[in-house]
A and B are shown apart, each in its own frame.
Chain A
Amino acid sequence: MTNHWRDIKNADLILINGANPAEAHPVGFQWFVRAKLDPKRGPGKGGGAKIIHVDPRFTRTSALADTYLRIRTGTDVAYFGGLINYVLQNNLQHAEYVQHYTNASWLVKDGFGFADGLFSGYDPAKRTYNIATWGYDADAQGIAKRDMSLQHPRSVFQLMKAHYARYTPEMVSSITGIPKDDFLKVAALVGEMGKPDKVMTIVYAVGLTHHTTGVQLIRSGALLQLLLGNMGRPGGGMNAERGHANIQGNTDHAISWEILPGYLAIPTPGEKNLADYVKEKAPKKSDPNSWNFFGTNYKKFMVSLLKAWYGDAATKDNEFAFDYIPKPAGNASWLSFYDDALRGKMDGIILNGMTATSIGPDSTQVLQALAKLKWLVVMDPLPTTSSEFWHGPGMNPADVKTEVFMMPATHWIEKDGSFVNSGRWSQWKDQVIPPQGQARHDHWIMADLFSRVKALYQKEGGQFPDPVMHLTMNYKDPLKPTADEIAQEINGQDLTTGKRLASFAALKDDGSTVAGDWIYTGSYPESGNLMKRRDGVQDPAKNDPTGMGFYANWAWSWPLNRRVLYNRASADLDGNPWDPERAGIKWNGQRWVGDVPDYPPTMNPKDPKAWLPFIMTGEGTGRLFSNTPLDGPFPEHYEPVESPVDNPLHPQTSANPVAFLYDQAAGRPNRFGTVADYPYVATSYRLTEHEHYVTQHVEHLVQLQPEAFVEIPDGLAKEKGIKNGDMVRVSSKRGKVEARAMVTKRLGPLDVAGKRVWQIGIPIHWGFVGISADMHPDKSQHWLANMLTPFVGDATARTPEFKAFLVNLERMG
């Protein structure tokens, strides 16, 4: 989230796409309801915030929304595109913000273009773009030409306007299935949010990311928010509701193939030293008034990380051990794990509190991949569909040569440490009870394993042992590092003084500072562990003096305890809040006050040399045009890989032209179905009572939701002769689910480009392991929802397309 849970109460309009917070994040949803009940909020004269819920299913979120729009899954780029076009055509954007706080005025290179669903530079053989033309018209130093009138035909603003002109209300309706009049009513409300005293938040979850256009779906929302001037403001922003207790913290700490802690990029082969790496990876300044804070300090953060990991072995002479960091050949994300395993390139996988089988996508293919491994380690407190995969659906244990290790790990409540919530609040928890049985802490298992591997290298030698030998394990007991010791390492220190640092501003690139993750520097300064702070709602007057919900002394949020990211953009050019009633930060003549400023604390905004507001980008502004996504500088609607219709915008380029097709590339048989065999659209989701798969072991929750089911619209059920409670088989090209039918009016037909389309809903929670599975050992073999989902992901992020695929539906005998 750019903002945080409590901040949603500050919004006038709440746009929810690809999320169901009332059911999936129920306690967070209280802040939506509070906005709705607050008479000061809302469009027009107020009377309460309005909630717009756009989703394939009518859920409890829809029930509390002011407007519900049924959308065909996978078409939100078109929906947002229509809103963007409505704002641009009616001149409803926040003009001053767009002119000064976005890259609307930047001129793009001659040669950039878009035609027939393709941006310039497409290579159909490689299914990739050459992005040479996706850049600015800039001088040798990279400083771009700008046209502050926004009228130049190659200005980002005019290019964007032309790109989006195709997203007319009629086109939006024919793609999404949303009736034109309903769409226009929502567009009128959204259009009001460009007024400086109004603010809208966009809230989403994996319903928006789990598509082959996932990145562009999120960017579409961000573009709309930039046009309306809602980024950086309390009550605004782009807010991802994340689904696991510490998914945020461990994204920050880079358990992800493409990054190092603090969102530093993993180096690419060919980058020979730190200078090469920084040149390739750090953002580049394209305006004289851009601070380019991240780019300018990239090397300091990287060197401080290398010093944290390699200590005295990281010296100026060896580029601070830059060679010790692995340089991947290509994508190594989730889908690539199993693709590489199927191709025999992977020896073993360690699954630490995560199950491959149930998560999928295409669980059958994942099971085959696991069976091709030499070994599989599962670290978990409870059995999972991966620890048990060798006797799972369709598996014959005698044929599975994989050695499997089930290492009992401790539960969260048996150890201390921090969890970071969706709003970036890092909150500390105590150890409440000791470990049960022989369970060991995950990090102690890892430390012990590492120590044994290192001992083998000491004894036997082997491939490039240096990084293994030199990795710092400077803990009192290297086999049992404490959470407190690691939290201090993450925060970092000045090696000269031996003192922990209070800000990443003190980090250096000469090897005199260390920080395990620069965005957490300041979480544990000399004064102590700030993540433990507890000044909460027991005294709102004292702990939240502005009433904005910052609660600055409750836990600690990254970076620097800032509660709203990009908050310089919450104030105008002179430093006055766009809406004085909802100030983020404000220039008081001497300094910035309010939230922790995302800006130099004493930089006078009226100084002609004052930095532009977005300090993390090379432009100094928000980016309406960006060459970072691999599938285009502007979002474009592409159909899901499995879709019931051709793309009405450009049927010849229907699906995402750069989505990576794993099976095709590896020479495996096609695993995608067509509408002729699989005529219905399906989507998958969570229920309130379960959390992925682990809650299959919780008696109370299994009692509340005891058995797998699928949701079927009543009109389709009637057509197929299916009654509520009947057993049905849902099948895709890849596999099947057999479960009870829940016939419902929550799902219904859509008219898409003149064609009637039905959508089926599939909760993801069941499998062949857990209390329900034990009660139904035969039936539970056919409960894995991800048996159905396609093995393909987003063009840039490779996030699998769990949320839009084709199935058939039959009533079982």
Chain B
Amino acid sequence: MTTVTRRGLFKLAGAGAGTAAISALGFDLAEATQVKQQLHIAGATEAHSLCPYCAVGCSLIAFTRKRADGSTEILQIEGDPDSPVNEGRLCPKGASAMSIATSSRRVDQPLYRAAGETAWKQVSWDFMLDRVARLMKDARDRTFVTQDANGNTVNRCEGIGFAGGAAFSSEEGYLATKIMRGLGVVHLEQQARV
């Protein structure tokens, strides 16, 4: 666990002129906010993350706590003041990162819609992966070209497309490229064009 002392100092400095001003209520609001904040993340574990949206690459600090049942709960996500990119600042999207991280709208189990069906069906991961592997192999076998009309060795699979990657890590992206090229896929795309 990382100490929050330096971060507390940043918060205080960030409050700027407000720290000296006494509000109409007769007490220092900035200090009250600071105390509230400290209580909110007291005893929290600090982890480093990055904003999942645009490519400015703002660093985030995520505060988590273990619940009694052993699960991890996110308490707060905020801008990382140490980053030379964002220096602690976040836009409305980054500032709401916790909202998407803990969204109740998540798809939390595999869903399958058979041809012509009008609704999703909940299925197991094994069903999904076996079925898609079958379809991928069939597509590869059906559309694989070993030699083109000019007699050139081309070893390509023309009937499978893979698109994605702007939202997952480089390591995931590298593996996706490797596996897709390994299968001979030529239709590869991420969000550089679109």
Task: Tell me if A422 and B105 are in contact (CB < 8 A).
Answer: no
Contact of B177 among A24, A255, A440 (CB under 8 A): A255
Task: Tell me if A544 and B49 are in contact (CB < 8 A).
Answer: no
Known: A408-B108, A413-B52, A704-B92. A251 touches B171 (CB 8 A): no
Shortest Cβ gap from A271 to chain B (Å): 8
Bound Cα distance A266, B55 (Å): 26
Q: Is A404 an interface residue (CB 8 A)?
A: yes
B residues with CB within 8 A of A: 6, 47-59, 62, 64, 71-74, 81-87, 89-94, 96-97, 99-101, 103, 105-118, 120, 125, 128-146, 148, 150, 152-194
Stretch in A240-248, A580-588, A599-607 with 4+ CB within 8 Å of B: A240-248
Residues of A with C-beta under 8 A to B164 = 255, 350-354, 379, 442
Residues of A363-387 contacting chain B, CB below 8 A = 374-375, 377, 379-383, 387
Bound Cα distance A314, B105 (Å): 46
Chain A: which residue is nearest B178 at the CB level? A309
Residues of B with C-beta under 8 A to A350 = 160-164
Task: Tell me if B91 and A27 are in contact (CB < 8 A).
Answer: yes
Q: Is A813 an interface residue (CB 8 A)?
A: no
Shortest Cβ gap from B33 to chain A (Å): 19
Q: Is A590 an interface residue (CB 8 A)?
A: no
Chain B: which residue is nearest A24 at the CB level? B54
Task: Tell me if A418 and B171 are in contact (CB < 8 A).
Answer: yes
Q: Is A15 an interface residue (CB 8 A)?
A: no
Bound Cα distance A425, B30 (Å): 35
Bound Cα distance A24, B94 (Å): 12
Bound Cα distance A412, B169 (Å): 8
Bound Cα distance A785, B168 (Å): 25
Residues of B with C-beta under 8 A to A415 = 169
Task: Tell me if A346 and B159 are in contact (CB < 8 A).
Answer: yes
Residues of B with C-beta under 8 A to A456 = 133-134, 137
Task: Tell me if A244 and B182 are in contact (CB < 8 A).
Answer: no
Bound Cα distance A254, B162 (Å): 12
Task: Tell me if B52 and A245 are in contact (CB < 8 A).
Answer: yes
Residues of A with C-beta under 8 A to B87 = 30, 537
Contact of A347 among B118, B139, B168 (CB under 8 A): B139
Chain B: which residue is nearest A335 at the CB level? B193
Task: Tell me if B54 and A452 are in contact (CB < 8 A).
Answer: no
Residues of A with C-beta under 8 A to B134 = 456
Task: Tell me if B110 and A405 are in contact (CB < 8 A).
Answer: yes
Task: Tell me if A419 and B169 are in contact (CB < 8 A).
Answer: yes
Task: Tell me if A408 and B109 are in contact (CB < 8 A).
Answer: yes
Stretch in A162-170, A427-435, A754-762 with 4+ CB within 8 Å of B: A427-435
Contact of A417 among B97, B146, B171 (CB under 8 A): B171
Bound Cα distance A101, B163 (Å): 38
Shortest Cβ gap from A543 to chain B (Å): 8
Residues of A with C-beta under 8 A to B129 = 445, 448-449, 452
Shortest Cβ gap from B78 to chain A (Å): 13
Residues of A with C-beta under 8 A to B50 = 245, 412, 419, 427, 429
Top-6 shortest CB links A-B: A437-B108, A421-B57, A417-B169, A352-B164, A244-B166, A452-B133
Task: Tell me if B187 and A432 are in contact (CB < 8 A).
Answer: no
Task: Tell me if B6 and A449 are in contact (CB < 8 A).
Answer: no
Contact of A381 among B106, B162, B190 (CB under 8 A): B106
Residues of B with C-beta under 8 A to A429 = 48-50, 169
Known: A352-B162, A486-B174. A695 touches B93 (CB 8 A): yes
Shortest Cβ gap from B120 to chain A (Å): 7
Q: Mark A318-339, 1 if CB is under 8 A from B, else 0.
A: 0000011111110011101100
Task: Tell me if B135 and A348 are in contact (CB < 8 A).
Answer: yes
Task: Tell me if B160 and A347 are in contact (CB < 8 A).
Answer: yes
> Which of A27, A412, A438 neighbours the largest number of chain B CB atoms within 10 Å of its CB?
A27
Task: Tell me if B116 and A398 are in contact (CB < 8 A).
Answer: yes
Residues of A with C-beta under 8 A to B74 = 413, 432-433
Contact of A701 among B93, B168, B177, B178 (CB under 8 A): B93
Task: Tell me if B171 and A30 are in contact (CB < 8 A).
Answer: no
Known: A24-B54, A326-B156. A487 touches B116 (CB 8 A): no
Known: A374-B139, A688-B91. A698 touches B100 (CB 8 A): yes
Task: Tell me if A269 and B174 are in contact (CB < 8 A).
Answer: no
Task: Tell me if A536 and B82 are in contact (CB < 8 A).
Answer: yes
Bound Cα distance A25, B174 (Å): 26
Q: Is A511 an interface residue (CB 8 A)?
A: no
Residues of B with C-beta under 8 A to A337 = 161, 163, 187, 189
Task: Tell me if B64 and A243 are in contact (CB < 8 A).
Answer: no
Q: Is A608 an interface residue (CB 8 A)?
A: no
Task: Tell me if A247 and B55 are in contact (CB < 8 A).
Answer: yes
Shortest Cβ gap from B161 to chain A (Å): 4
Residues of A with C-beta under 8 A to B6 = 538
Task: Tell me if B148 and A329 are in contact (CB < 8 A).
Answer: yes
Contact of B57 among A333, A391, A427 (CB under 8 A): A427
Chain A: which residue is nearest B53 at the CB level? A691
Shortest Cβ gap from B101 to chain A (Å): 5
Can you spell out 20 A-B residue pairs with CB atoms less than 8 angstroms apart? A241-B56, A243-B55, A326-B154, A327-B156, A329-B145, A329-B156, A340-B158, A387-B111, A398-B118, A403-B114, A403-B135, A413-B52, A413-B62, A417-B168, A471-B182, A520-B170, A551-B84, A691-B54, A695-B53, A698-B96
Residues of B with C-beta under 8 A to A448 = 129
Residues of B with C-beta under 8 A to A554 = 83-84
Q: Mark A516-544, 1 if CB is under 8 A from B, else 0.
A: 11001000000000000010111000011
Shortest Cβ gap from B176 to chain A (Å): 6
Shortest Cβ gap from B63 to chain A (Å): 9
Task: Tell me if A6 and B85 are in contact (CB < 8 A).
Answer: yes
Bound Cα distance A700, B101 (Å): 13
Task: Tell me if A413 and B93 are in contact (CB < 8 A).
Answer: no
Q: Is A406 an interface residue (CB 8 A)?
A: yes
Residues of A with C-beta under 8 A to B71 = 434
Residues of B with C-beta under 8 A to A446 = 172, 175-176, 179
Known: A348-B159, A348-B161, A351-B163. A698 touches B51 (CB 8 A): no
Task: Tell me if B189 and A255 are in contact (CB < 8 A).
Answer: yes
Residues of A with C-beta under 8 A to B96 = 698, 700-701
Bound Cα distance A345, B160 (Å): 9
Stretch in A120-128, A281-289, A462-470, A743-751 with 4+ CB within 8 Å of B: A462-470
Chain A: which residue is nearest B96 at the CB level? A700
> Which of B103, B146, B174 neighbours the largest number of chain A CB atoms within 10 Å of its CB?
B174
Known: A382-B107, A468-B182. A487 touches B136 (CB 8 A): no
